């Protein structure tokens, strides 16, 4: 906050204050009477045209003959508008007769699109911008507006990695442009660029439109942060006219429809016994040998052998942890305005119970957007959104979180033991007999959900205050000050002993954390419009500064006397720390938009960014772009071709950057490393990373060419895009030889290419009383690494055994491992083929990839990649009178998913439960099973625990993403209750999915997030998250995930 008080800002505010002083009120001018005739293109009179004095509500309407007349000030401006014609503004200039010819409006071309630092008509767009408006997601039951973009926008791959309420989807715009730097697109909310902002903080129903800036020329105005694309979210503002009160209530029900098929108790027991016997036989024993003869590791519970039937089918832990969960969502908004002042106030409350036991998500979102013209020249406004989220979300952290642990738990244990406790570690339970075996597994879901008191409370305030001043008629100055203040608190208390349901009997423990973030932004722009004949110019220059500070706090305690008090004061504090971290950014922007006759368009822009994260020698970077458009259909020579309504060619080229690296990535940091001398601890400091004063921006150059087409009265419209982007100076944590003392260094190295095509088609199949439209989009992206670090050494990351490898000539992050060609059915097959020395019949057949007759590390090869060959979406909407029915299909083809849970559930792993799919494993030469699943074995054989094609599955899917039915209640019924309009609707999300991914919940599941660098990583001196060294490299690795529930919602929406 110190900087706010600095001299610089004092001056800044003085300047704003002065700007007010310059404001001058227009003088009164003489009133005259103006009349005229309004005609259409063909010269026919147009009745019903509204003729209004600009910036007032005074006006009139043209009569049957197209005639109008009204008294007006002699220097005023008249606005002529009508539904099917383009509006016109005409200055009176002391004339008394003004005849007007209106041109029919081309709706598509005149829609307004929000671009960086301004808006444009679609006609003038020269880059690749996709726009989604409120109508396209108004009935969808999402907490995050980005979720509703899935399947709707070509070139934008939105995947819901985790199904928990409030989980943000991963957004990839036109492929992956970085290997180790962050790849999240920049989010711009009401003009405020925010890095890694949680869009759940904006109530989707407050959003007017979402624009996706896909190509470099559109995104270049956001310069250094644009290379993963930009998503612009614009909230609603009231429209001139009568106040509108809108109310909406929804009830929803969520259900997990796709469980992972796990073995039941009988199957598990048999597999467990076989795994032990197979190992014992390998060691020279006999399957019939009793426990007395066996080593500890191979002993089998007597119950399993003598009376397995007592366990029945056992417990399906998924039935225990998942439930059908309701949700309620209600909101009220009030909007409206006069020519001078427009406003929108809204309040919304979402109360969602999660499908996972004890989990919930509650959000209160309040918004106030207001804009007022203080004088004809001066407009001020304030957008303020305050959001509170209370949630408890578990199961998304992978292998050691509730859901994965539930799957790993043995099915023969009951939900409650005879004492009402949860687990077999209860010393007073007969189940305690199983503690004699080290390979019994139970992480009872309730021991983590009901024996734990936890939750998170988040508070977000995002406010933008702005002032616009028309210095001259065409010259506008705008200044804004924005702040995003985010606070989150979490608490955790684990009951003493957890009712014996956890893998250990633990004493009570608790912790609490708090994090704080303040991001402020000051923007100042000057915009100049000029029309000279057919030439029109818009110029923009600006200067912005932005700074963010993050702080964290953490306290832990134990030694609680009992479970009565869960706050930390009841125990003994054992650990605590606080951290802080900052970044800052200064930018200069300039843009010139030119068009000739609204037919030829040219845009050139440049941004200069300086950022604290980069090395002293390279803090600043330039990001230029240029683009052009040609509206061919407006050419005279096209006027004969009636069937073509719209034909436009767009070409663009630009440079964008990526700054998503750790805040102090260029600086060599020291980390604590303490030692003890004679019973006293002495502080120590070690160098935790290598400095790089030359660290600079990662840059992406992108070329884009697009063609828009509308034919048959725009019944069929669409666009096609081709792009080619080259990322260079990649911000890479390059693995360096460990003999340096470090395993990686952040440096600018390497090149990568993304190129692809995108196709959008929109067709009005049937029009009339019955309407049927189809919207289809298709995109494919090809990613290829062109150059890497010294010697182009491949970059390889390993999590458990799952290996992702990035090498030149290949797409980023290939899965890399052995190929399993089924199972060796007998000794003869083994003898006839190269095999790992430990191989016995029933063990995996590993392919000798390099053909050297041996199975070695060199036989590992590329076995998949998560990036799809193409993605597509199709929405069909049918409407008849008040009914509207639509359904959306979303598909992804050609990617693979690596199932890291195979480690626990697809092979023997210390007695954890198994996938039911592997039950048909090799049992003997005469009972060889399905030929895919090798025999279970406590002593692993033949590379079964190594990463292989056995772990990789096809991630292609076709999903019925959404089905929606709505009915608009006829207005004659509504009039009686003073209701303008009302709709009832039913909406279903994630209705069904067709996929080959059998042993996971969903082919979109990914356990690790996209790469982001948080301040807590800074202070720990390690830029890793969980087990994955670089989480972004592990996209498409499922290491325990949350299923995507099916959600069915019914709702009613009414406007008064």
Partner 1 sequence: MKKFKHILAACLTGVVMSSCSDSFLKLAPVSNPNAETFFKTKADFDLASNAAYATLYTIYNPEGPISYMGELMGDNVTILNISGNMADKWQFRDYTLAPANTMVYQFWQDFYRSLYNINIVISKVETSELEAASKDKIKGEMMFLRALYYFNMVQIWGDLPLVTAPITAAESYGVLRSPASEVYAQIVKDLQFAADKLPLASAAGVGKASKGAAQSLLGKVYLTMGDKTKAANTLKEVVNSGQYQLLPNYTSLWDPKNKNTKESIFEIQFLGGSSTAPFSDYYLGFFPNSNALGFYGSGMNQVVDDIWNEYETGDSRRVASIDTGFTDAKGVFTKVKFPKKWQDKTAPIIGQRIAANNNFMVLRYADVLLMLTEATGDAQYLNQVRKRVGLPEYGTAAYPSKYNSIELATEHERRVELAFEFHRWFDLKRTNRALTVLPSKGKAVTQAKLLIPIPNVVRDQNSKITQNAGY
How far apart (Å, rounded) are the C-alpha atoms in residues 787 and 793? 9
Is 394 a residue that touches partner 1 (CB under 8 A)? Answer: no
Q: Which of 743, 850, 971, 1022 binds partner 1 (CB under 8 A)?
A: 743
| Cα 719–chain centre separation | 25
How many angstroms separate the CA atoms of 1028 and 1009, rounded?
10
Nearer of residues 362 and 903 to partner 1, judged by Cβ:
903
Please give the distance of CA 604 from its chain centroid, rounded to a whole number. 30
**Selected range binding partner 1 among 182-190, 291-299, 950-958, 1029-1037, rule: CB under 8 A:** 291-299
> Are the beta carbons of 755 and 214 closer than 8 angstroms?
no
Distance of CA 794 to the CA centre of its chain: 29
Least distance in angstroms from the C-beta of 734 to partner 1: 7
In the complex, the smallest distance separating the C-beta of residue 575 from partner 1, rounded to whole angstroms, is 6
Among 48, 312, 561, 684, binds partner 1 (CB under 8 A): 684
In the range 933-972, which residues lie near partner 1 by CB under 8 A? 939-940, 945-946
Instruction: Work out how close the CB of 689 gets to partner 1 at its nearest, in angstroms, rounded to a whole number.
Output: 9
The DSSP element (H or E) to which 195 belongs, if any, is none
In the complex with partner 1, the residue whose CB is nearer, 801 or 991, is 801
Work out whether 580 is an interface residue with partner 1 (CB under 8 A).
yes
How far is it, in rounded angstroms, from Cα 817 to Cα 903?
A: 14
Phi, psi (rounded to 5 degrees) for 589: -130, 150
Sequence-separated contacts (24+) of 571-579 with Cβ below 8 Å? 571/508, 571/509, 571/510, 577/553, 578/551, 578/552, 578/553, 578/554, 579/551, 579/552, 579/1015, 579/1016, 579/1018, 579/1019
Stretch that binds partner 1, among 97-105, 734-742, 762-770, 844-852 (CB under 8 A): 734-742
Site string for partner 1, 762-791 (x = CB under 8 A): ----------------------------xx
Interface pick for partner 1 out of 290, 326, 561, 741 (rule CB under 8 A): 741
610 is an interface residue for partner 1 by CB under 8 A = yes
Cβ-based nearer residue to partner 1, 53 or 442:
442
Residues 32-71 that bind partner 1 (CB under 8 A): none
d(CA 187, CA 1028): 26
Q: Which is nearer to partner 1, 249 or 528 (by Cβ)? A: 528
Q: Is 295 in the site for partner 1 (CB under 8 A)?
A: yes
Site residues for partner 1, window 261-280 (CB under 8 A)? Answer: none
Smallest separation (angstroms) from partner 1 to the CB of 258? 30
Of residues 636-665, those binding partner 1 (CB under 8 A): 663-664
> Per CB under 8 A, which of residues 400..459 are in contact with partner 1?
427, 432, 435-436, 438-439
Cα–Cα distance for residue pair 698/715, rounded to 1 Å: 43
Neighbours of 331 (CB within 10 A): 19
Binding to partner 1 in span 467-486, by CB under 8 A: 469, 471-472, 475, 477
Q: Is 808 in the site for partner 1 (CB under 8 A)?
A: no
499-538: contacts with partner 1 (CB under 8 A): 503-507, 509, 522, 524, 526
Per CB under 8 A, the list member of 227, 331, 800, 814 interacting with partner 1 is 800
Q: How many CB atoms lie within 10 A of CB 1027?
A: 18
E-assigned strand segments in 743-769: 744-748, 751-766
Of 898, 921, 923, 901, the C-alpha closest to 912 is: 901
Interaction of residue 738 with partner 1, rule CB under 8 A: yes
Residue 169 or 942: which CB sits closer to partner 1? Answer: 942
Between residues 541 and 878, which has the closer beta carbon with respect to partner 1? 541
Q: Which residues contact 334 (CB under 8 A, 6 or more apart)?
A: 243, 244, 245, 246, 343, 344, 345, 346
CB 866 within 8 A of CB 773: no
Residue 559: count of CB within 10 angstroms of its CB = 12
Out of 4, 20, 24, 850, name the contact with partner 1 by CB under 8 A.
Answer: 24
Interface with partner 1 includes 465 (CB under 8 A)?
A: no
Q: What are phi and psi of 813, to 5 degrees?
A: 60, 60
Pure H helices in 402-516: 402-408, 445-449
CB of 930 to partner 1, least distance (A): 24
Specify the stretch interacting with partner 1 by CB under 8 A; choose among 67-75, 401-409, 794-802, 827-835: 794-802
By CB under 8 A, the residues from 992 to 1021 that bind partner 1 are 1015, 1018-1019, 1021
**97 part of the interface to partner 1, by CB under 8 A:** no
Rule CB under 8 A: say whether 694 interacts with partner 1. no
Considering the complex, state which of residue 127 and residue 735 has its C-beta at the smaller distance from partner 1. Answer: 735
- Dig out the tokens for 144 from the structure: 């995050």
Place of tokens 């800044």: 12
25 binds partner 1 (CB under 8 A): no
Task: For the CB of residue 745, give the shortest distance to partner 1 in the complex, in Å.
Answer: 6
Select from 255, 619, 764, 923 the one that contacts partner 1 (CB under 8 A): 619
- Render 49-84 in DSSP notation, one character per residue: -EEEETTSS-EEE--TTSEEEEEEETT-EEEEEETT
Please report whether residue 543 would count as binding partner 1 according to CB under 8 A.
yes
**Residue from 736, 960, 968, 979 binding partner 1 (CB under 8 A):** 736
Does position 678 interact with partner 1 (CB under 8 A)? The reply is: yes
**CA-CA distance, 543 to 790, in Å (whole number)?**
39
Of 420 and 790, CB closest to partner 1: 790
Cβ of residue 592: shortest distance to partner 1, in angstroms? 18
Task: In angstroms, give the least distance from the CB of 420 to partner 1.
Answer: 19
Query: Interface residues for partner 1 in 861-920 (CB under 8 A)?
Result: 910
In terms of CB distance, is 197 or 424 closer to partner 1? 424
Q: Considering only residues 338 through 377, tell me which ones interact with partner 1, judged by CB under 8 A.
A: none
**DSSP-assigned letter for residue 395:** S
547 binds partner 1 (CB under 8 A): yes
Nearer to partner 1 among residue 742 and residue 1056 (C-beta): 742
β 230-235/186-189 pair status: parallel
| Part of the chain binding partner 1 (CB under 8 A), chosen from 460-468, 581-589, 707-715, 774-782 | 581-589
**Alpha carbon of residue 631 to chain centroid:** 34
- Hey, what are 19's tokens? 């700007």
Residue among 643 and 683 whose Cβ is closer to partner 1: 683
Q: Comparing C-alpha atoms, which of 892, 897, 725 is closest to residue 804?
A: 897
Minimum distance from CB of 741 to partner 1 (Å)? 2
Choose, by CB under 8 A, the member of 29, 531, 668, 1022 that binds partner 1.
668
* Rounded alpha-carbon distances, angstroms, from residue 677 to 674, 682, 686, 735: 10, 7, 17, 35
Q: Where are the beta strands (DSSP E) in 449-534?
A: 452-470, 475-494, 509-532
């Amino acid at each position: 906050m110190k900087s706010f008080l600095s001299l610089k800002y004092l001056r800044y505010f003085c300047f704003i204050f002065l700007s007010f002083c310059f404001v001058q009120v227009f003088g009164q001018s003489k009133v005259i009477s103006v009349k005229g005739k309004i005609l259409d293109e063909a010269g026919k009179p147009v009745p019903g045209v509204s003729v209004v004095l600009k910036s007032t509500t005074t006006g009139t309407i043209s009569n049957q003959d197209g005639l109008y007349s009204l008294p007006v000030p002699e220097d005023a401006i008249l606005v002529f508008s009508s539904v099917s014609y383009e509006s016109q503004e005409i200055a009176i200039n002391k004339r008394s007769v003004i005849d007007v010819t209106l041109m029919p409006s081309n709706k598509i071309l005149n829609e307004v699109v929000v671009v960086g630092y301004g808006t444009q008509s679609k006609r003038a767009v020269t880059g690749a911008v996709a726009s989604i408006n409120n109508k396209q997601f108004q009935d969808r039951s999402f907490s995050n507006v980005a979720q509703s973009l899935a399947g709707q926008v070509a070139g934008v791959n939105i995947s819901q990695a985790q199904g928990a309420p409030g989980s943000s989807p991963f957004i990839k715009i036109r492929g992956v442009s970085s290997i180790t730097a962050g790849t999240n697109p920049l989010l711009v909310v009401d003009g405020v660029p925010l890095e890694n902002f949680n869009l759940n903080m904006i109530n989707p129903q407050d959003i007017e439109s979402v624009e996706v800036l896909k190509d470099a020329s559109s995104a270049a105005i956001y310069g250094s942060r644009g290379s993963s694309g930009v998503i612009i979210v614009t909230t609603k503002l009231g429209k001139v006219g009568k106040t509108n009160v809108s109310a909406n209530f929804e009830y929803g029900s969520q259900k997990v429809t796709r469980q992972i098929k796990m073995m039941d108790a009988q199957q598990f027991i048999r597999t467990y016994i076989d795994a032990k016997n197979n190992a014992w036989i390998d060691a020279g024993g006999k399957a019939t040998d009793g426990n007395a003869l066996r080593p500890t590791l191979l002993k089998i519970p007597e119950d399993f052998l003598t009376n397995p039937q007592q366990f029945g089918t056992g417990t399906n832990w998924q039935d225990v942890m998942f439930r059908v969960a309701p949700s309620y969502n209600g909101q009220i908004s009030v909007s409206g305005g006069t020519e001078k002042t427009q406003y929108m106030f809204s309040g919304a409350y979402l109360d969602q119970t999660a499908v996972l036991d004890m989990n919930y998500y509650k959000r209160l979102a309040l918004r106030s957007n207001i804009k007022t013209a203080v004088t004809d020249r001066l407009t001020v406004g304030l957008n303020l959104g305050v959001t509170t989220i209370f949630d408890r979300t578990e199961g998304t952290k992978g292998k050691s979180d509730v859901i994965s642990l539930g799957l790993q738990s043995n099915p023969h244990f009951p939900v409650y033991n005879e004492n009402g406790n949860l687990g077999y570690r209860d010393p007073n339970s007969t189940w305690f007999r199983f503690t004699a075996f080290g390979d019994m597994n139970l992480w009872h879901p309730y021991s983590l959900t009901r024996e734990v008191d936890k939750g998170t409370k988040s508070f977000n305030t995002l406010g933008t205050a702005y002032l616009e001043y028309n210095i001259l008629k065409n010259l506008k100055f705008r200044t804004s000050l924005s702040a995003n203040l985010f606070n989150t608190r979490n608490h955790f208390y684990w009951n003493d002993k957890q009712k014996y349901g956890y893998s250990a009997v633990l004493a009570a423990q608790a912790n609490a954390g708090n994090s704080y973030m303040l991001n402020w932004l000051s923007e100042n722009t000057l915009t100049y419009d000029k029309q000279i004949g057919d030439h029109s110019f818009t110029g923009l220059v600006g200067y912005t500064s932005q700074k963010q500070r993050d702080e964290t706090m953490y306290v832990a305690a134990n030694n609680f006397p009992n479970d009565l008090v869960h706050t930390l004061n009841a125990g003994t504090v054992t650990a605590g720390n606080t951290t802080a971290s900052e970044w800052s950014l200064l930018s200069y922007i300039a843009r010139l938009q030119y068009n000739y006759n609204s037919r030829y368009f040219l845009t050139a822009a440049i941004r200069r960014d300086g950022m604290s994260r980069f090395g002293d020698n390279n803090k600043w970077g330039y990001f230029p772009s240029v683009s052009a458009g040609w509206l061919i259909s407006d050419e005279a020579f096209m006027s004969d071709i009636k069937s073509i309504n719209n034909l436009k060619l767009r070409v663009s080229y630009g440079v964008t950057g990526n700054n998503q690296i750790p805040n102090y990535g260029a600086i060599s940091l020291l980390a604590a490393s303490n030692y003890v001398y004679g019973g006293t601890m002495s502080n120590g400091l070690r160098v935790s990373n290598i400095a790089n004063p030359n660290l600079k921006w990662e840059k992406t150059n992108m070329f884009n060419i697009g063609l828009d087409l509308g034919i048959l009265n725009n019944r069929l419209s669409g666009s096609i895009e081709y792009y080619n982007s080259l990322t260079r100076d990649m911000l890479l944590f390059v693995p360096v030889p460990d003999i340096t003392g470090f395993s990686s260094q952040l440096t600018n190295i390497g090149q990568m290419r993304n190129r692809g095509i995108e196709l959008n088609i929109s067709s009005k199949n049937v029009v009339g009383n019955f309407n049927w439209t189809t919207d289809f989009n298709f995109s494919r992206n090809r990613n290829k690494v062109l150059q890497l670090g010294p010697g182009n050494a491949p970059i390889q990351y390993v999590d458990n055994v799952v290996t992702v490898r990035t090498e030149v000539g290949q797409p980023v992050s290939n899965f890399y491992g052995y190929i399993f060609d089924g199972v060796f059915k007998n000794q003869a097959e083994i003898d006839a083929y190269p095999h790992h020395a430990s191989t016995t019949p029933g063990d995996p057949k590993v392919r000798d990839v390099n053909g050297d007759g041996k199975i070695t590390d060199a036989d590992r090869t590329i076995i998949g990649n998560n990036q799809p060959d193409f993605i597509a979406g199709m929405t069909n909407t049918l409407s008849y009178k008040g009914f509207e029915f639509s359904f959306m299909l979303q598909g992804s083809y050609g990617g693979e998913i690596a199932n890291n849970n195979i480690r626990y559930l697809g092979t023997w792993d210390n007695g954890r439960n198994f996938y039911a799919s592997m039950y048909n494993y090799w049992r003997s030469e005469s009972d060889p099973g399905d030929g895919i699943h090798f025999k279970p074995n406590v002593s692993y054989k033949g590379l079964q625990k190594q990463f292989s094609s056995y772990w990789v599955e096809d991630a292609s899917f076709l999903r019925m993403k959404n089905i929606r039915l709505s009915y608009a209640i006829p207005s004659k019924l509504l009039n009686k209750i003073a209701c303008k309009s009302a709709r009832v609707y039913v909406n279903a999300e994630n209705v069904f999915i067709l996929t080959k991914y059998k042993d996971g919940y969903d082919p979109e599941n990914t356990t690790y997030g996209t790469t982001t660098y948080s301040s807590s990583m800074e202070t720990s001196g390690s830029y890793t998250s969980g087990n994955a060294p670089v989480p972004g490299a592990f996209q498409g690795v499922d290491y325990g995930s949350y299923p995507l529930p099916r959600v069915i919602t019914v709702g009613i929406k009414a406007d008064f």
